Structure 1
Amino acid sequence: MRQNRSLFRRFLKVHFLFIFLPPMVLIFISAFFGTTAHGTKVNTLNLFYVTLLLFGFIIVAFVVISWLFFLRLRRRLTRLQEVMSFSANHHSFPEPVLVQRDRMDEIDQLGDSFNWMIQQLQDSRKREAEEELLRHRLIANLSHDLRTPLTILRGHVTKLNKEPISLEGQHSLTEINHTITRVGDLMDDLLSYTLLTAGKYPFEPAPTDMVRLVRASVAAWYPVFEDNGIQLEVDLPSEKTFYWRIDPKWMTRVLDNVFQNILRHAAEGRYANIVADVEQERIIVADRGPGMDNSSYEHGAGIGLSTAMYMLNQMKLNADFTSNGNGTSVTIGRA
């Protein structure tokens, strides 16, 4: 392998030669060849002019060589800087830079290290994508495979409900059936989040009448709230509205998650308030449950809430939570 060559060492060598070699030549000529071709001595004035001319040549040569050196150095460094800037501006991996293996000075070594870094990042990104794909497949397959034993368990619970059983046993079967439903919902949330982050759910934003969308969502959930004894107060203007450029299906899914959390974790408050604030362009959903500090809410709303927050982030929206012992309020607005 060819040994690395130092760019700056060559620069110093050339400058050293231009600074010291001409004076040494002048001294040598003055000492040993002090006569002209006609045998007359070179007078002091002529020697001064020769010396002045020689040093002027040295200075000019020094400046020219230095300028050429730094111009070439700047040009090579600018190429690296342009490649790095392109990567930063376009959020992509830069292209490898050209490296002359037969030269391999400091700039080429820098470029070679830069190319090695790009290769490592590309390999890392490729492994990450493969691991992410494997994880998505694993979660999807696991969610699908677990449905069979849950269905079997539900079938046995249904059979046991038809058998003579004590009141305490009937209560246990009800709890088992509720737990099976809850596990099924969690698997659905997990599968939805996995597919969503994998880009399997298409995102189709469009200008959307938000008051109309919230009204349709509330109308769909109203019977559910009523069956659970939850008093529903709705403030949705009939003549005013505001528009967001969002995916209506995604936004409906977000509202479904918020309403579902009220049923799961705040049903004991028996109250829900839904407001569309047209002036400030925001949606407010409040309840009178025990608050988010309650362990049931913290442990039960993780996957569904993560899915909703991911959707809001993609739609350039934000959800602010305010919670205490008297209830929880969710305000959805522009990020």
Structure 2
Amino acid sequence: MKQTKSLFRHFLKGHFLFIFLPPIILIFLSAFIESPINGEELNALNLFYVVLLLFGFIIVAFVVISWIFFLRLRKRLTRLQEAMSFSANHNSFPRPISVQSDRMDEIDQLGNSFNWMIQQLEDSRKREHEEELLRHRLIANLSHDLRTPLTILRGHVTRLNKESMSLEGQNSLTEMNHTITRVGDLMDDLLSYTLLTSGKHPFRPTSTDIGRLVRASVAAWYPVFEEKEILIEVDLPTEATFYWEADPKWMTRVLDNLFQNILRHAAEGKYVNIVVDVEKEQITVADRGPGMDNSSYERGAGIGLSTSNYMLKKMKLKADFTSNDSGTRVAIGRS
């Protein structure tokens, strides 16, 4: 950027003229011009007073000019600082500031660079938003389009099950059918996460009775656990409860994801423990599976867990995971 004027050079030039120009003029007048005062020649005492008055004028002028200069400089810098702090106070990009192109000193150049930075950030955010929309649209379309070939594969597997084949063939078909189901579940999780993060699932927080919500969720999942011969231990208070400012549908979805993970990854432990602690305002879900660190055939990419964490964060909650070889414990509470 080409610099046309210098603010500080102009300031130093003005002060230099006020400090050195009056004494030079005085010396010139004293050397070449004889100036009478009240009809008498200028004596040494009068010369002293004139010099004293001159230097007093220089000091006063220096202070006044410096004060005006720094006051104007502070006003311009304060305006620039307020524009920069706008984003921190309003959680948005700051607004461009006015710049005098005809003056274009150091402060104006700084403001011009600031405006250029804002423009670059706005362009970057616009491109990021467009890319995010494109990614969400692509994932949604892929999740929808892949259901057709999965349905066709499942139809062929069902047809082959009716044919006579060896035991190994039957086991292979069972495994294929199981894999198709798992891929379908992963696609559903991916589609749900995409819709959630793109704002397609609205967040409607309300004062929610957590004890009642957990009780209803456990009642819905109880037959599923019972069918898998999983022992269920619950500690749900009948009278005491607590309330969270949460979306009931989102909280139910989080609990459904936890219970579904137990069926997928910890069903071999044949145990689930669900506790609602009113004093701590906490929900605890524990199992006796192999743990999160151990390999599992049905272990996905963590899309369901990411969805749950996203929902909990929006509701100002958090999930603490404790996992080892003897099982996994999840505690949901306030963040």
| Cα RMSD after superposing both structures | 1.5
SS at match of 2:201: coil
Q: How many residues align?
A: 335
* C-alpha contact 2:86 2:95 (8 A) present in aligned 1: no
SS of residue matched to 1:279: coil
In structure 1, what is the Cα distance between the partners aligned to 2:304 and 2:66?
Answer: 66
**Does the CA contact (< 8 Å) of 1:292 and 1:298 recur in 2?**
no
**Matched residue type, 1:149:** P
Structure-2 residue corresponding to 1:61: 61
The TM-score, its normalising length taken from structure 2, stands at: 0.97
* One-letter amino acid matched to 1:85: S
C-alpha displacement at 1:294, in angstroms? Answer: 1.3
Give the Cα–Cα distance (whole angstroms) in 2 for the partners of residues 280 and 247 of structure 1: 20
Question: 1:297: Cα distance to partner?
Answer: 7.8
Higher mean C-alpha deviation, range 228-237 or range 15-24: 228-237
- Alignment map for 1:270-289 (pairs within 5 Å): 270-289=270-289
The equivalent residue for 1:113 is 113
Aligned twin of 1:33: 33
Offset of residue 40 of structure 1: 4.3
Letter in 2 for 1:97: I
Write the mapping of 1:253-332 to structure 2, written as runs, cut at 5 A.
253-296=253-296, 299-300=299-300, 302-332=302-332
Change over 3 Å in CA distance of 1:290–1:37 after alignment to 2 = closer
**Which residue identity lines up with residue 275 of structure 1 in the other structure?**
V
> Contact 2:182–2:298 (CA<8 Å) still a contact in 1?
no
Distance in 2 between the 1:293 and 1:173 partners?
29
Task: Check conservation: 1:276, 1:284, Cα contact below 8 A.
Answer: yes
Distance in 2 separating the partners of 1:219 and 1:159: 36
Residue identity in the other structure for 1:136: H
Query: Structure 1's 194 and 176: CA in aligned 2 closer, same or farther, altered over 3 A?
Result: same
CA distance in 2, matches of 1:292, 1:246: 27
Distance in 2 (alpha carbons) for counterparts of 1:2 and 1:287: 69
Give the CA deviation at 1:41: 2.3
- Counterparts of 2:82 and 2:195, CA distance in 1: 38
- Residue type at the aligned position of 1:73: L
Equivalence map 1:44-83=2 (5 Å) = 44-83=44-83
* Residues 211/2 of structure 1: CA separation in 2 closer, same or farther (3 Å cut): closer
In structure 2, the residue matched to 1:218 is 218
Structure 2 equivalent of residue 11 of structure 1: 11
Q: Which amino acid aligns with 1:96?
A: P
Residue 333 of structure 1 aligns with which residue?
Answer: 333
1:102 alignment partner in structure 2: 102
Matched, 1:190 2:190: yes
> Offset at 1:13?
0.1
Task: Indicate conservation of the 8 Å contact 2:3/2:105, yes or no.
Answer: no
* Deviation at residue 85 of structure 1 after TM alignment: 1.6
Kindly state the Cα deviation for residue 87 of structure 1 after the two structures are TM-superposed.
1.5
Question: What is the Cα deviation at residue 45 of structure 1?
Answer: 1.0
**Do the aligned partners of residues 319 and 38 (structure 1) sit closer, same or farther apart at CA in structure 2, a change above 3 Å counting?**
closer
Q: CA deviation at 1:301?
A: 5.6
Q: CA offsets per residue over residues 250-271 of structure 1, 9 Å max, x none? A: 0000000000000000000000
- Matched-pair identity in %: 79
Letter in 1 for 2:288: R
Instruction: For residues 223-252 of structure 1, give each alpha carbon's deviation from its aligned partner in whole angstroms, at most 9, with x where no partner exists.
Output: 111111111111101111111110000000
Q: For residue 132 of structure 2, what is the aligned residue in structure 1?
A: 132
Q: What is the deviation of 1:34? A: 2.5
Q: Does 1:165 align with 2:165?
A: yes
Pick closer, same or farther for the CA change 1:2–1:222 going to 2, 3 Å.
closer
| Aligned 8 A contact 2:265 2:299 in 1 | no
Q: Determine the C-alpha separation between the residues in 1 that align with 2:91 and 2:297.
A: 38
Residues 195 and 201, structure 1, Cα contact 8 Å, conserved in 2: yes
Aligned-pair distance for 1:141?
0.4
8 Å Cα contact 1:269/1:287 also seen in 2: yes
2:84 matched to which residue of 1?
Answer: 84
Which runs of 5 or more residues in structure 1 are unaligned? Answer: none
Mapped partners of 1:269, 1:2: distance in 2: 73
The amino acid across from 1:93 in the alignment is: F
Offset at 1:162?
1.0
Structure 2 partner of 1:143: 143
CA distance in 1, matches of 2:188, 2:167: 32
State the SS of the aligned residue for 1:283.
Answer: strand
- Unpaired runs of 5+ residues, structure 2, are none
Contact 1:2/1:102 (8 A) holds in 2? no
